[in-house]
């Protein structure tokens, strides 16, 4: 399949030659993301630098019915940014400027290619931060976070990405540029199109500018608690959430993940279920909360409770959560890593973690489990040996069983990674007839179906 000559001529007319490429090496570089989904070569790669360029490219693609898959940092875990067949890969990575920081309004205006960690380094100079806290913050772009409604380590206290978006500039499929939202902290004016765009995975429009709501940088303290069994750790989560304390973060790391971290880092942490807490607030308020949580943990049989007394130690404790993926990539070179996330009601959290662990034994697979325990979010990695199609099939079967288990409990198939390619078959199982409403919205905004086709919806849906 090739792009029509007239299309390529139009592309050359609306973009400088250094902003698009047909070179095989660059097509290959944009053919995959961080998911285990098969690579798909785009027909071209386009790097846009302005909303006007984005509008020109989308207008051209719409006229020639050429699919477009938008891309930020390529850190998607469900195949959201794997190019659709016969598509142009539209990279927003060069739209990476923080345009304006408004400290008195607790807001900033930025382009979608800004990387999360880079943004927070700039905001810190003003005593501010953008809260969600994705583990992949060193590569995740804000536009990608908007597309997937990303969460993260701090979502328990501050909410996910959609809770921080005030206004969006969006290029629609026909190339028109529109603004959704307002800079007021709240509004009840009209349909909430900002929320509609957030989590739409590039199927409804391409975001080219974002105004975010920010928070003041709090004092913080990190603590770690370890338990002989999962039930005790889960009971601590319930007791802490029942106490009126709302941690900045509350993470669970299972014994298998701790074992991987120990081998990767050369540590000797007890290889047992582990909770990592972060407390935000004033020094006196934090001290009181830490003491209450310490008492809860000790009462419920913690084999270890530690408060990080230095920034270096705090970073080390968090490395025990954030570097699980790096550890497993290093320890299992060449393995296929099936990654996923679900969320369940908090009362079902411990039983679901146990269920996930049992699936590993049932299918003879190495499964590690971790996640945002305070809001019922579970992430899992299934490590599949290379060249073993039976193990890969078992890994995919185990993922499907866990996802359907979450649905049966009133949970969700994905808490923060999106649907993409990997979870399309489960969308109807979770949402039923509401999927028809989603498809009508898609049809209204993208009647020619050029925006990221094949994602989210199965053809038979």
Percent of the chain with pLDDT over 90: 96
pLDDT tens, residue by residue, 237-270: 999 999 999 999 999 999 999 999 999 999 999 9
* Alpha-carbon torsion (440, 446, 448, 453), positive or negative: negative
The pLDDT, as a whole number, for residue 1 is: 74
Mean pLDDT, all residues of the chain: 95
Q: What is the mean pLDDT of residues 419-440?
A: 96
- Which residue, chain included where needed, has tokens 């979870």? 423
Q: Contact 112/142 with Cβ under 8 angstroms?
A: yes
Q: Contact 245/325 with Cβ under 8 angstroms?
A: no
The pLDDT, as a whole number, for residue 300 is: 96
The pLDDT, as a whole number, for residue 460 is: 64
pLDDT tens, residue by residue, 66-114: 999 999 999 998 999 999 999 999 999 999 999 999 999 999 999 999 9
Q: Contact 287/223 with Cβ under 8 angstroms?
A: no
Residue 410 exposed, middle or buried by CB count within 10 Å (0-12, 13-18, 19+)? exposed
What is the distance, to the nearest Å, from the Cα of residue 339 to the centroid of all Cα atoms in its chain?
Answer: 12
* 249-253 and 366-371 beta bridge pairing: antiparallel
* 44-47 and 88-91 beta bridge pairing: parallel
**Domains, the chain:** 98-216 (3.30.465.10), 219-325 (3.30.70.2190)
Output the six-digit token pair for 453. 């086709």
The pLDDT, as a whole number, for residue 374 is: 93
The pLDDT, as a whole number, for residue 2 is: 87
Q: What is the mean pLDDT of residues 425-445?
A: 97
Distances (CA, A) of 207 to 210, 279, 305: 7, 33, 44
The answer on pLDDT for 461 being more than 80 is: no
Output the six-digit token pair for 378. 């579970």
């Amino acid at each position: 399949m090739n792009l029509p000559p007239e299309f390529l001529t139009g592309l050359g007319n609306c973009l400088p030659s250094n902003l698009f490429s047909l070179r095989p090496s660059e097509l290959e570089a944009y053919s995959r993301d961080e998911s285990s989904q098969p690579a798909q070569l785009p027909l071209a790669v386009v790097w846009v630098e302005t909303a006007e360029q984005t509008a020109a490219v989308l207008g051209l693609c719409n006229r020639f019915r050429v699919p477009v898959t938008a891309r930020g940092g390529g850190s998607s875990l469900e195949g959201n940014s794997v190019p659709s067949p016969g598509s142009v890969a539209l990279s927003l990575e060069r739209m990476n400027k923080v345009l304006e920081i408004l400290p008195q309004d607790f807001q900033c205006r930025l382009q979608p290619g800004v990387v999360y960690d880079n943004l927070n380094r700039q905001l810190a100079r003003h005593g501010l931060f953008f809260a969600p806290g994705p583990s992949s913050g060193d590569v995740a772009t804000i536009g990608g976070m908007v597309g997937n409604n990303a969460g993260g380590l701090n979502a328990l206290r501050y909410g996910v990405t959609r809770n921080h978006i005030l206004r969006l500039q969006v290029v629609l499929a026909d190339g028109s540029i529109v603004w959704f939202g307002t800079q007021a902290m709240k509004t009840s004016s009209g349909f909430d199109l900002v929320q509609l765009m957030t989590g739409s995975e590039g199927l409804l429009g391409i975001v080219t500018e974002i105004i975010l709501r920010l928070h003041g940088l709090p004092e913080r303290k990190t603590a770690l608690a370890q338990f002989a069994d999962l039930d005790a750790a889960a009971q601590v989560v319930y007791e802490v959430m029942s106490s009126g304390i709302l941690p900045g973060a509350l993470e669970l790391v299972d014994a298998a993940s701790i074992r991987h971290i120990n081998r990767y880092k050369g540590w000797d942490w007890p290889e047992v279920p582990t909770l990592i807490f972060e407390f935000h607030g004033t020094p006196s308020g934090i001290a009181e909360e830490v003491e209450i949580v310490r008492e809860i943990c000790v009462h419920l049989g913690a084999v270890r409770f530690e408060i990080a007394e230095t920034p270096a130690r705090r970073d080390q404790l968090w490395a025990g959560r954030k570097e699980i993926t790096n550890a497993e990539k290093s320890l299992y070179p060449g393995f296929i890593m099936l990654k996923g996330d679900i969320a369940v009601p908090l009362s079902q959290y411990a039983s679901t973690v146990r269920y996930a662990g049992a699936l590993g034994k049932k299918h003879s697979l190495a499964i590690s489990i971790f996640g945002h325990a305070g809001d019922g979010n579970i992430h899992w990695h299934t490590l599949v040996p290379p060249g073993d199609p039976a193990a890969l099939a078992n890994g995919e079967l185990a993922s499907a069983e866990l996802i359907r288990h979450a649905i049966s409990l009133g949970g969700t198939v994905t808490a923060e990674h999106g649907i993409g390619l990997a979870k399309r078959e489960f969308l109807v199982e979770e949402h039923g007839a509401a999927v028809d409403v989603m498809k009508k919205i898609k049809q209204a905004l993208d009647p020619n179906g050029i925006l990221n086709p094949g994602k989210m919806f199965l053809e038979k849906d």
